[in-house]
Amino acid sequence: MNTQDEIKYQKALKRVKKIKGFYTHAIVYVFVNIMIVFLNVKNLDPGETYFQFKNFLTAFFWGIGLLAHGLSVFVPNWIMGQNWEERKIKEFMEKEKNNQNQWN
């Protein structure tokens, strides 16, 4: 495999790992919150309704974290474009090269 193919492969592998990490996070979120709902319903006092804010705190705040994780995985390409990282790296390398040329 040539260098260009290896770079593309490594980038694709990194992206797949990020997506897999998000899906794992989402699955754990669903199962843990189902268990919390089950335990809360099981421990309800007679006549008490489940739909109280305290019963949704974990799902709400963890959901914010899950949303942030999802945005970090899926949104950067929509906002910054497909090759944003590469363009930024080249820009910084060019600036560094120009700065070195000024002092030589």
| Residue 92: alpha-carbon gap to chain centroid | 25
Q: How far apart are CA 101 and CA 55, in angstroms?
A: 62
Q: How far apart are CA 83 and CA 39, in angstroms?
A: 47
Q: pLDDT tens string for the chain (104 positions)?
A: 678 888 888 888 998 999 999 999 999 999 999 998 888 878 777 776 767 777 788 899 999 999 999 998 888 766 666 677 778 788 888 888 787 766 65
Instruction: Please report how the helices 3-42 and 57-74 are oriented relative to each other, as an axis angle in degrees rounded to 10.
Output: 170
pLDDT of residue 90: 82
Q: How far apart are CA 58 and CA 71, in angstroms?
A: 20
Helix (H, G, I), strand (E, B) or coil at 43: coil
